[in-house]
Amino acid sequence: MSKRIDLVDLDIFYGDFLAVEQVTLTVNPRSVTAFIGPSGCGKSSVLRSINRMHELVPGAYVTGEVLLDNEDVYGVDVDPVLVRRTIGMVFQRPNPFPTMSIYDNVVAGLRLSKRRRRSKDLDDVVERSLRSANLWAEVKDRVDRPGAGLSGGQQQRLCIARAIAIEPEVLLMDEPCSALDPISTLAIEDLIHELKDTYTIVIVTHNMQQAARVSSTTAFFNVNAVGEPGRLIEIGETSQIFSNPRVKQTEDYVSGRFG
Amino acid sequence: MTAVLSGQAVRPGDRVFSGLSLAAGVLVLVVMAAIAVFLVWKAIPSLTTDSANFFTEQQWLPDRDPPVFGIAVLAFGTVLTSLIAMGIAVPIGFGVALFIAFYGNRRVSTALGFTVDLLAAVPSIIFGLWGLYYFMPRIVPFAEWLSTYLGWIPLFRNDLEIYTKSILMAGVVLAIMILPTVSAISREVFLQVPRAQTEAALALGATRWEMIRMSVFPFSRPGMVSAAMLGLGRALGETIAVALLLSAIFEINWAITEPGGNTFAANIALKWGEAADNGRSALIAAGLVLFLITLAVNMIARWIIARHEEYT
């Protein structure tokens, strides 16, 4: 489990609008890579193009390559549904299925991919996934209750459990803590630390301290002006990006001079 | 020191507005009650003269002496045509709405949605005329096919070998009439599903149909029930189209491809002009039953919606 991602000359379009231009970068397996940058720089678009969620917006498409262990995610005979089963995603706002119990939320993806599992197996998956998401202790007595009854932070961990229940190779996180309070944020960050031993993780964050805390590699994106495409400015080890950036823009951003 | 916070505790604007909205709410109840009282009041004279059982009698002769009339045929025709219409229009209407909301590209969806809305606004007399002169002759082969190959089912047997002006025809035309209603409302409901929910399913590797089952249907169920019930309401109360399409025969006939059948609304429209005092009173009694049926349908719909409310 866990694969490497290479973006090669990636251009991202919304209709005629070029939103992100010429991104080339590598995400190493079993590590956490953070995408940082000001609003509108295209970091979320890049993230969503990795598991082909981007193309769900009408008129949206990409050119260039997204390679998952050298296999192009946008290849002609690639099924986007399988791409999304392999590359899991956690969203900005916790979005458990409101009509489903905690249990059913966790196994929702499994019920899609492989029908007719024995319920004993499912029970194991639920416990393992909830344990991995550091949620088991809090919900083990009420897994049959609606997932929507949990707190925001618990809901987000439930969404992480749901994403890892189908054992993806990669986990994409789109500002997973921006709707959470500091305590819940800390819980998620601890979780990311544990998950990186198993998964390739890419996290988009507005919070530079968070990037510094959780990631080993940081990519800084920027945009010159509204209406121009976003660009990858610099990527490197997180400690280097924050202490000794090579590019002036990065230094201005991480030192809080703009953004 | 002067008190800076003292003033009017309640602002006049608030008071006026709350009075107006209360009045509007009360008005609706008053109108409802007035309708019910009117129907009961006007129906009583004929009901006391009826020499037959009002609920089981099939004939409709309220102006004869003694009067003999009952709603059995009307209830049968109304319920059956509406059920046929629902059976056809609800699945197709949901399908069209799903296509518009989730499958079609933007241009096709906009055009189709616009057309559906236009169709919903077509007056029912147009549907009736179109059904009578255009649609009916063209659907006869279908009715023939049904009675030839499925004639062993009593519902589709046709001993008369006449296939027009049947309950099936009226049901199919009603289906076309209520299709836009069902489709337009359920489309609005589907479009309300939060993107976060649809994306959650897709990101788990759901196909589009799996996504619809996983996040769209659970979220939309109350709205889908409302859409179906509003369609049913229109089908139950539809007058002109059905009056044109059915040959009013006062006999319960389960063979739905044979001519015959009648409904509450169509019967009232057809009989009102020629009816004498007792006849009119009897028609109002029939109207009262229709009123109660639609009321019951709406209450059942509300109940179904309320049962699912905890999730919305």
Convert the pLDDT of each residue in A16-74 to its tens digit. Answer: 999 999 999 999 999 999 999 998 899 999 999 999 999 988 889 999 999 999 899 99
Token reading at A236: 């490197």
Cα of B110 to nearest chain A Cα, Å: 13
Cα–Cα distance list, A109 to A121, A179, B208 (Å): 14, 24, 14
Report pLDDT for B300. Answer: 86
Which residue among A82, A99, A162 places its CB closest to the CB of B204?
A: A162
CB half-sphere exposure, B5, CA atoms < 13 A: 0
Q: Which of A139-143, B22-26, B51-55, B207-211 shows the lowest mean pLDDT across its residues? A: B51-55
Cα of B212 to nearest chain A Cα, Å: 12
Whether residues A146 and B197 touch (CB distance < 8 A) is answered with no
Q: Which residues of A touch B (CB under 8 A)?
A: 51, 53, 56, 58-59, 81-82, 84-85, 88-89, 91, 93, 95-100, 108-109, 112-113, 146, 148, 159, 162-163, 166
Report pLDDT for B41. Answer: 94
What average pLDDT does this structure show over B290-295? 92
For the segment B9-36, what is each residue's pLDDT rounded down to a tens digit? 778 889 999 999 999 999 999 999 999 9
Report pLDDT for B312. Answer: 43
Cα–Cα distance list, A92 to A175, A182, B51 (Å): 5, 15, 72
Give residue B276's pLDDT band: very low, low, confident or very high (50, 70, 90).
confident
Cα of B202 to nearest chain A Cα, Å: 7
Residue (of A85, A74, A47, A54) closest to A202 by Cα position: A47
Whether residues B203 and A163 touch (CB distance < 8 A) is answered with yes
Residue (of B253, B251, B58) closest to B154 by Cα position: B253
Report pLDDT for A72. Answer: 93
Write out residues in chain A with pLDDT < 70, as ranges.
1, 113-118, 259
Give residue B91's pLDDT band: very low, low, confident or very high (50, 70, 90).
very high
What average pLDDT does this structure show over B79-98? 95
Give residue B308's pLDDT band: very low, low, confident or very high (50, 70, 90).
low
Report pLDDT for B143. Answer: 86
Report pLDDT for A116. Answer: 59
Report pLDDT for A115. Answer: 58
Nearest CA in chain A to B309: A99
Q: Which of A40-49, B51-60, B155-164 shows the lowest mean pLDDT across its residues? A: B155-164
Whether residues A51 and B203 touch (CB distance < 8 A) is answered with yes
Report pLDDT for A27. Answer: 94
Q: Is the pLDDT of residue B160 over 80?
A: no
Question: Which residue type, as a one-letter code, is found at position A31?
Answer: S
Chain B residues whose CB is inside 8 A of the A159 CB are 200
**8 A C-beta contact, residue B256 and residue B76:** no
What average pLDDT does this structure show over B116-137? 88
B269 dihedral zone (left: phi>0; alpha: psi -120 to 50; beta): alpha
Q: Which of B198, B204, B207 to mutate to test the interface with A (most CBs of A within 10 A)?
A: B204
Class of domain B49-311: mainly alpha
**8 A C-beta contact, residue A204 and residue A20:** no
* Three-class secondary structure of residue B239 per DSSP: coil
Q: Is the pLDDT of residue B309 over 80?
A: no
Cα–Cα distance list, A242 to A31, A204, B217 (Å): 18, 16, 47
Report pLDDT for B302. Answer: 82
Report pLDDT for B1. Answer: 61
Whether residues A166 and B204 touch (CB distance < 8 A) is answered with yes
Q: What is the rounded CA–CA span in Å between residue A48 and residue B146?
A: 52
Cα–Cα distance list, B62 to B55, B58, B215, B264, B266 (Å): 14, 12, 54, 15, 16
Question: Which residue type, as a one-letter code, is found at position A74?
Answer: Y
**8 A C-beta contact, residue B237 and residue B297:** no
Chain B residues whose CB is inside 8 A of the A93 CB are 196
For the segment B225-270, what is each residue's pLDDT rounded down to a tens digit? 989 998 998 899 888 888 888 877 888 888 888 887 888 988 888 8
What average pLDDT does this structure show over B60-70? 87
Report pLDDT for A29. Answer: 92
Token reading at B79: 């319920």
Chain A residues whose CB is inside 8 A of the B205 CB are 81-82, 84-85, 109, 112-113, 166
Report pLDDT for B245. Answer: 84
